[in-house]
Amino acid sequence: SRFGGLTPLLGLRAMAWVSTASTHAMLACIGAPLILLLTLPVGGVPCPDPCHCTPLSPGGLKVDCSRLGLREVPALPENTSELYLQSNRLTAVAPGTFDKPRDLRRVELSNNPWVCDCQIAYLRQWLRGQELRMERKIRCSSPASAKGKRVSRVTEEQSSCRGWWSVRCQHFIRVDVLLSVAALLTLCLSACAIYIAKHLSFRVRLTNPNTLQPPPDHPRARHWKSL
């Protein structure tokens, strides 16, 4: 045949042909869960704006967010070891904020208008578990029943809050939900990979020891047959 030189090429094309439908199924099955996984919160947070970060020796990071008028604590890098938040407008700290850094040794929180209501529960509990020399300077600005009291020493009666237990649990519930979602997405990806591995195959029909051709019903079969 004058097209005999094309035999290896035709065989190569046949071996490389994969069902288009299977490819689309693979993209649909893996793409969406992968995008969701990539959007989950991860480590490696850069220096928060407008704070100033300075590397420390032999390791760690100093994050200076003092005197910036902040109303909430920004996301902190995991290697934060010193954190300065004094003289801002902070009234509370979101649950889990100080749990993310692996080696947080020093925290300055004085001169902030702390509101000692139910939202102060996390900071109160966190301070009680720390040995901070400046803990005495962290005092409530309101309500009136708790004004001037140390945040770590304020009681539920002084704060007019009766739900501190549930407030503390909210953080752990959020963590459990995130872990459950991550586990579910991982399971979904694994199931998709197994399904695709079982059903994605090369459809090749051997008609000649020296020539490999696709099945007759394939769109390219007519073109190759005409050759």
Mind listing the pLDDT tens digit for each residue in 165-210?
455 455 556 666 777 888 888 888 888 888 787 766 555 455 555 5
Q: Where are the domains of the chain?
A: 44-161, 162-200
Q: Of residues 56 and 25, which shows the higher confidence score?
A: 56
Question: Residue 181 carries which DSSP code?
Answer: H
Q: What is the pLDDT of residue 197?
A: 76
The pLDDT value given to residue 193? 83
Give the pLDDT confidence score for residue 215 in this predicted structure. Answer: 61
CA angle 142–67–85, rounded 5-degree value? 70
Of the two residues 216 and 24, the one the predictor is more confident about is 216
Homologous superfamily of the 44-161 domain (CATH): Ribonuclease Inhibitor (3.80.10.10)
Q: Which one-letter DSSP state was computed for residue 88?
A: S
| Nearest in space to 94 (alpha carbons), one of 62, 120, 60 | 120
Question: Beta 211-213 vs 114-115: how paired, if at all?
Answer: unpaired
User: Three-state DSSP class for 62?
Assistant: strand
- What's the whole-model pTM score? 0.54
- In the prediction, which pLDDT does 57 show? 86
- The pLDDT assigned to 130 comes to 81
| Residue percentage of the chain with pLDDT more than 70 | 57
Tell me the CA distances in angstroms from 194 to 18, 27, 32, 37, 164, one per residue in order: 17, 14, 17, 19, 46
What is the pLDDT at residue 210?
A: 52
Lowest mean pLDDT among 12-16, 108-112, 115-119, 208-212: 12-16
